[in-house]
Structures are given as C-alpha cells and as structure tokens.
Amino acid sequence: MPSSADSLEALQARRLAREISAREQAEALLEQKSLELFNQALDRERAVVALRESEERYRLIVELSPDAIVIEVDEKIIFSNSAARILFAESSSLSLEGNSLLSLAGPSFKQKTQEELHRLRNGHNLNESEEVAVRLDGTTFEVSVQRVGLSYKGKTAVQMIARDISSRKQLEQQLAYQATHDGLTGIPNRNRLMEMLREALNFADRYQFPVWVAFLDLDRFKFINDHYGHRVGDKLLINLTRRLQGILRKTDIVGRYGGDEFILVLRGGPDDNMNAVMVERIMETVNEPLIIDSHYLKLSGSLGLATYPADGSNPDVLIENADIAMYRAKESGRNQHQFFTREMNQQHQERGQIESALFNALERNELFLEYQPQLDVQSGRIKGVEALLRWQHPELGLLSPARFINIAEECGMIVRIGEWVIHQACQQCADWERAGLGQLRVAVNLSVRQLDANGLFGIIEAALTASGLAPACLELELTETLMMSDLERTLTVLHKLRAIGVGIAVDDFGTGYSSFAYIKRLPLDSLKIDQSFIRELEENEDSHIIVRALIQLAHNLKLRVIAEGVETKFQYEFLKQYGCDEIQGYLYCKPLLPAALEAWLKEHP
C-alpha cells in the first residue's frame, strides 16, 4: 500500500505534468498565432507594395499613353497626362487643371457633351464618339473621345480619353474628294455627276421644275492634243472649265464626263427661257478664243440637250439621250446644239443595227465596189476611175457610203474594210489592164482611222504586189481635215507612199479647214474640187470666182485638178474654159459595176 507521502508526491508530479503540458500547448498556440500574425503582416506589407507598384504602373501607363487622358472631379480637371497637355494646351501657357471637361468640347458638341457628362456622373458608361474639340487657345480639331464614369479617391469622377484624328479625317476627305472629282479640272467626275444629277432630279420633282441635261463634246480636241501636245490640251480643258463655271448659275452643275466631254445640268425655273439663254452662253463661251503657251486657239463644241422629265426619267437615260442629240449636232456640221427628239432615238437604234451588221458584212460578201470614170477635159479620154464602196444590207437594202462609213470609222471596222477596198480596187484595175482595156489609174478613198493604223504602208505594198498593179496606177484620196488631223504623222506615211510612186489627191477640196501653208507641205499630185462648188456654178456668180481661183491655186502648186459632180454641159464648158484637167460626174457616167464599166469602156475607147 503506498504511503501518503508517496501519493502526495505522485499527485504533485501529475499536476506538474499537467501544467507543463498546458503551458506547452499554450506556447505552441502562441507560437502559431504569432506566426499567423507575422504572415498576415507580411501579406499586408506585400499588398501595400503591390498596390503601390500597380498604382505606379498605372500612373506610368497613363503618363506615357499616346492618348490624352484627363480626369475631372467636381467639374474641375484634377489630372491630365502629358499627351493631354500637348493636345489641349501646348500652344498656350495655361494649364488644363482647373478647367472643365465641358470647356474642351467644340461649340457644336457642347450640348451633347453636357448631357453625357451628367449621365456619366450617375454611373452610366458611354461609347466612343468622334467630335470636334477645343484647345485652350480656342482652336478646334477633330478627336475620337471616350468618357467613363469612375470613382477617384472616393469621389465621383469622369475620365476622358481623347485622340487627335484630324490627319485621318483629312486623308478620308482627300480620298473621298479624289473618288468624286476630276483630277485635272477639280470639277465633279462621272460618279459624282450622276449623284448630283439624281439629287437635282429629286429636287425638280419636289418643286416641279424642268431640268436640262447638256452633253458637251469639244470638236477636234484630238487635233489640238496631237498638234500642240497634251500640256496645251490640259491647260485648255482647265481654262474652259473655269470659264464655264464663270457663266453657270449657283444651281447649275458642270462635271467632266470623259476626255473632252462635259455634262452640264441646268436647273430650270419658273422662266424656262433662262435655260435657252444659258445654252447660247455656253456655246459662246466654248467659242471664245484662247491663248495658251502663246498658241492662239479657237475651240468649238457640239452640244446635245435632253430635258427632264420629257426625255427621260433617270440620269442614265437623260445622259444617253443628250449624247444622241450631241451626235446629231456633230453630224450636222459641229459647233451647234441640238435638242433630243424621239425620232433621233429611232435613228440611233438603226445606227446600232448597222454597226452590228457591219461586223459581218465582209465575210458575207455584202460589200462591193462601183467605179466611176475620171475623164480628161480636153480630149474626153478616160484617165482613171474612182472606186466607191457599196453595201447590200440584208434588211435595209443597198446602202451608200454616207449611211455607214461614219459608223465604220467610229467602231474601227473601217481599217479592215479599207484594206479590202484597196486590195479589191488594185486587183480590178490590174485585171482590166490584162484584159486589154488599157492602163487606168484607180482612186481609192481613205479614212482617218486608216492613217492612224500603223500598217497602211504595208497594206498598200501588199495589194500592189498581189495584184501586180504599177504603183503609179494607184491614187489615194484623202480629205483635207483628215490630213491635217495629225499632220506630222500623215506627212511621214504620205512621203513613203509617194516615194514608191503612189499618187495622192486631196478630196472635197475647199470644204475643210486647211490652210494653204499646210497644203504646200503635203506631197500631193492632184486636187479634187468639191462638188458643192460645181453645183453652184449655174446658180451663183461667186462660185465662178472660187472655182477659177481653186484651179489657179492647184496649177500654181503644180497639181492636177479634178472637178467632181459634173452634171451639166454648162459646168463642163466652164471647167474646160478655165483649164480644169479632169472631170468626174453623172454627165458622162455614174459609178458602175465592173462588168458595166467594161462595156462603157468599150463604147468610149
């Protein structure tokens, strides 16, 4: 049995052990707590550093941002980054701080900005917009802005981010301008013109006004370009544009439609006569002489007019019809104006019909030549024949060249057709010689497009070789205007042809623009007096003087003179008396088919 002293000791020992364990537990707890506290303090310290770092980073980003950043609290700017200072305040000594965001909005954006700021202060966020802003010095510029509401140091604030977009806007405007304006003259181009015409028609609809669409095409502009160079041509177009702008009323429009084509839109008013006066003025303006780079130039133009609503309900139709009328003005002798008529449209369609049929005319053997004799006035003997083109059109019947040569020239078909004519005429003439009908000269008419085409010399050489015809038996007939249209090039080709012995004649002499100074430079053999002068011999004394003068002029230039369209004995006697060399006309013989001509030749040896 344990003694009482023993049990006390044990009791004390147990208590001590309990105390030690409790203390140890408390100490461990304390240690854990202090570790936790230490960690918490460490975290807090880290967080503070992180926050400071992130604030620093933010400040740096904001400061270095290329966008202007401004913060406003209580309607006063309290912060601005350097981009903002450069954008809004660089040119003034003032500071942005203390101003309001509203004061930076352009006059036309004040109201909108004010409403927006109000909404932002009440917690709404807004999207980016493009506006005009004002600098502190009062100048304005275009910006893209974004405003957001935020809390700044416990207060409601608005942050504005702005970027200068003036140069982008300028570029946009420049591109838009280029897309809608003619680079040379600065007036609306075709695209813009169509738009403006559409607007004008809408306006006219609303107020019941007529609108006149005028299609202006300069006559012989190619000649000016070729002859004086493109620089002069360009200056001329600019000059003409300025003068047209000078006479137009505020409501009228002038635009450039193509190279030498202008469209004028004349807005009618209660007094319709005003537009008629305008048309007169336009024609006068085109005709006014110009001096460009010391060249004295006189322009003329052909004007076609279509009216709205009578001649078309939309821009396309109106312009097309004005174009048709312009063509008619050109056909009837240039430097005129013509109003569109329904019957013009019909003729225009027929023209289209002719053009498409012309493409197949050669292959289908629908083209053929007739030959008209050219006689020596004194002896009455045949010297040569002129080859004249005919077309047996499947639907329209027999067509004279007047009906289709122009069209063939415009669509370029004349080059192929012309080549065929040269070959055919040379072959025929050589065949006649071989058949014992004597050596005749054959005259072939040329078009301007044939001179443009490079191969003319080669074509003629080939035709002569293939047929075996002597070059001296071929004569080419060219009109004056044709030769003048590109004088230098014409001279080169003609000299080459002349060198191999081919003859050159000026056709329809007296009707063109030619100056005698130019005629002297051309390598010519003969001159054909236009039939209009011959026709007038009986009616008009003046034409006596002209015909005599033309004969004399030709002889002075050592050229043979042929009178064409001789129909009466009187004309023949007159021409004989004044020394004309040859005649051609119905008085002796109409153009004939080869077989008929052979028969005629046998009768008139």
Residues 561-590 that bind Mg ion (CB under 5 A): 564
* Chosen residue from 477, 480, 486, 581 binding ligand C2E by CB under 6 A: 477
What is the residue whose two structure tokens read 């408390």?
26
Q: How many CB atoms lie within 10 A of CB 562?
A: 30
Do residues 85 and 97 touch, judged by C-beta distance below 8 A? Answer: no
Q: Residue 264 in contact with residue 254, Cβ under 8 Å?
A: yes
- DSSP count for the chain of H helices, then E strands: 21, 21
Contacting ligand C2E (CB under 6 A), which of 152, 567, 579, 594?
567
Which does residue 111 bind out of ligand C2E, Mg ion, none, counting CB within 5 to 8 angstroms by kind?
Answer: none
Three-state DSSP at 133 gives strand
320 touches ligand C2E (CB under 6 A) = no
| Pick from 557, 509, 599, 560: nearest CA to 383 | 560
In terms of DSSP bridges, do strands 474-479 and 441-445 run parallel, antiparallel, or are they unpaired?
Answer: parallel
Give the one residue of 389, 529, 563, 575 binding ligand C2E; rule: CB under 6 A: 389
Residue 463 vs residues 118, 186, 291, 440, 443: alpha-carbon distances, Å? 91, 50, 46, 16, 14
Identify which range of 61-69, 205-213, 363-371, 469-477 contacts Mg ion by CB under 5 A. 469-477
DSSP SS3 for 587: coil
Instruction: Kindly indicate which of the ranges 9-17, 70-78, 281-289, 582-590 contains the residues binding ligand C2E, using the contact rule CB under 6 A.
Output: 582-590
Q: Does 565 bind ligand C2E (CB under 6 A)?
A: yes
Residue 334, phi-psi category: left (phi > 0), alpha (psi -120 to 50), beta (remainder): left
Asked if 494 contacts 503 with a C-beta cutoff of 8 angstroms, the reply is no
Task: Please tell me the distance from the alpha carbon of residue 543 to that of residue 133, in angstroms, as a whole number.
Answer: 79
Scanning residues 413 to 452, which ones bind ligand C2E (CB under 6 A)? 418, 421, 445-447
Sign of the dihedral defined by the CA atoms of residues 100, 106, 110, 114, in that order: negative
Distance between alpha carbon 557 and the CA centroid of its chain, in Å?
A: 44
Query: Considering the complex, what minimum distance in angstroms separates the CB of residue 288 from Mg ion?
Result: 33
To ligand C2E, the closest distance from the beta carbon of 585 in angstroms equals 3
SS3 state at 98? coil
Closest to ligand C2E by CB, 320 or 386: 386
Find the shortest distance in angstroms from Cβ 563 to Mg ion: 10
101, 73 Cβ separation under 8 angstroms: no
Which of ligand C2E, Mg ion, none interacts with 388 (beta carbon under 5 to 8 A by kind)? ligand C2E
- The distance of closest approach from Cβ of residue 501 to Mg ion in the complex, given in angstroms and rounded to an integer, is 20
Taking contact as CB under 6 A, which single stretch among the options 88-96, 160-168, 179-187, 398-406 is the one that binds ligand C2E?
398-406
Q: Is 475 in the site for Mg ion (CB under 5 A)?
A: no
**Size (the chain), residues:** 605
Say which entry of Mg ion, ligand C2E, none residue 255 contacts (CB below 5 to 8 A, set by partner kind).
Answer: none
**Complex with ligand C2E: residue 182 or 564, whichever CB lies closer:** 564
564 sits near ligand C2E (criterion: CB under 6 A): yes
Which residue lies nearer to Mg ion by CB, 533 or 574? Answer: 533
Exposure string for 526-551, b = 16+ CB within 10 A, e = fewer? bbbbbbebbbbbeeeeebeeebbebb
C-beta neighbour count of 77 within 10 angstroms: 22
Sole window of 29-37, 116-124, 325-333, 563-571 interacting with ligand C2E (rule: CB under 6 A):
563-571
* Of the candidate residues 260, 480, 508, 582, the single one contacting Mg ion (CB under 5 A): 508
Main-chain phi, psi angles of 203, to 5 degrees: -60, -45
Single residue of 424, 445, 467, 526 touching Mg ion by CB under 5 A: 445
User: What pairs with residue 173 in β-bridges?
Assistant: none
The distance of closest approach from Cβ of residue 401 to ligand C2E in the complex, given in angstroms and rounded to an integer, is 3
- Minimum Å distance from CB 531 to Mg ion? 6
Tell me: does residue 477 bind Mg ion (CB under 5 A): yes
β partners of residue 370: 388
Judged by CB, which is closer to Mg ion: 164, or 508?
508
Q: Does 320 help bind Mg ion (rule: CB under 5 A)? A: no
* Least separation in angstroms between CB 580 and Mg ion: 15
Interaction residues for ligand C2E, span 67-96 (CB under 6 A): none
> How many whole angstroms separate alpha carbon 549 and alpha carbon 545?
6
Q: Which residues contact 401 (CB under 8 A, 6 or more apart)?
A: 388, 389, 390, 391
Compute the least distance from the CB of residue 235 to ligand C2E, in Å. 34
159 vs 372, beta carbon nearer ligand C2E: 372
In this complex, which beta carbon is closest to Mg ion, that of residue 225 or of residue 445?
A: 445
Indicate which single residue of 116, 217, 507, 581 sits in contact with ligand C2E (rule: CB under 6 A): 507
Residues in the site for ligand C2E, rule: CB under 6 A? 372, 388-389, 400-402, 405, 418, 421, 445-447, 477, 507-508, 531, 564-567, 584-586, 591
